[in-house]
Amino acid sequence: MKYHLLGKMSPSAYWNMAARISAKAAICTDCLDEESFFASGQREAGLLRKKGLLDPDVDALNIGCGIGRIERAICNEVASVTGVDVSSRMVKMARQKVVAPNVRFHVVDGKSLNGLESDYFNLCLSFIVLQHISRAATRSYLTEVARVLKPGGSFLFQLPLRTPSRNSEPPPDHPFGIRFYTREQVSQLTQEVGLRLLGYFDDQGNSPASDSVPDVEKYEFYHAVRPGDFTHSQRKEIGNSQTSVGPR
């Protein structure tokens, strides 16, 4: 009943409501208090470090910033980090909780990055966010990522992997229902919006032992780039993934 009743809300209304009840619980269900909540951002920060994506010259963008979990985790390792979210209440809280001089937050419409400069960011991120928005909005966001990234810039994002037994799909406009994606769908989508998919891996940065899809549902992290001048590490990753990335 709750799923269907709340499914009639707009994304901004739903996440504003979630922020009023408990922003931390809505974003990170296994975090018991504020200390553990912000500490959890180090999981994703560790993955970014392993992939060599954090650098003092990097201007980063985080799509679906919530109350600043990722921004706090990486702000000391980049030139700047911008967080955007559909929830004005989340953004207000983020500005109160993360006050580093190189961090800024903006409210967006849930499908675009209007107001952000083209060809500006070296790195775009999105964790536990795209799963909750419609497939049309995800496509729109990826198109916008291709616009705001500099040539050669990276996009690291997370989606739940569709397994053979997972066939359910929430209504297109449901504000928090989870959408599952196949690797083929992610590869095709990134290509269609003008990005190049380098590879996929788990939360430790490890590529799967084979291209077979596991029976157990899990998250996968995807690394895409805007074609242009690649860094040395990107060229190496492209070489390693030539036979493993593509439609299946």
Q: Which CATH number fits the domain that encloses residue 128? A: 3.40.50.150
Helix (H, G, I), strand (E, B) or coil at 216: coil
Judge whether 246 lies within some domain: no
Judge whether 247 lies within some domain: no
Judge whether 75 lies within some domain: yes
The runs of H, that is alpha helices, within the chain are 2-6, 11-27, 34-39, 41-50, 69-74, 88-97, 135-148, 183-193, 232-241
pLDDT at 230: 52
Q: Cβ–Cβ contacts within 10 Å for residue 176, how many?
A: 17
State the 10-residue block means of pLDDT for the chain, 248 residues long.
73 92 82 84 95 98 96 98 97 97 97 96 97 96 98 97 82 92 96 97 89 78 88 51 40
Judge whether 79 lies within some domain: yes
Q: Is 185 buried (19+), middle (13-18) or exposed (0-12) by CB count in 10 A?
A: middle
pLDDT at 23: 86
d(Cα 42, Cα 152) in Å, to the nearest integer?
25
Judge whether 157 lies within some domain: yes
- What is the maximum alpha-carbon separation in the chain? 52
What domain count does the chain have? 1
| Chain-centre distance for alpha carbon 97 | 20
Judge whether 248 lies within some domain: no
The pTM score is 0.88
pLDDT at 49: 97
Domain that holds residue 210: 2-241
Kindly state the tokens that stand for 129: 């966010």
Judge whether 111 lies within some domain: yes
How would you label 71-93 residue by residue, b for 16+ Cβ within 10 Å and e otherwise?
Answer: bbbbbebbebbbbbbbbebbbeb
d(Cα 84, Cα 91) in Å, to the nearest integer?
7
Judge whether 107 lies within some domain: yes
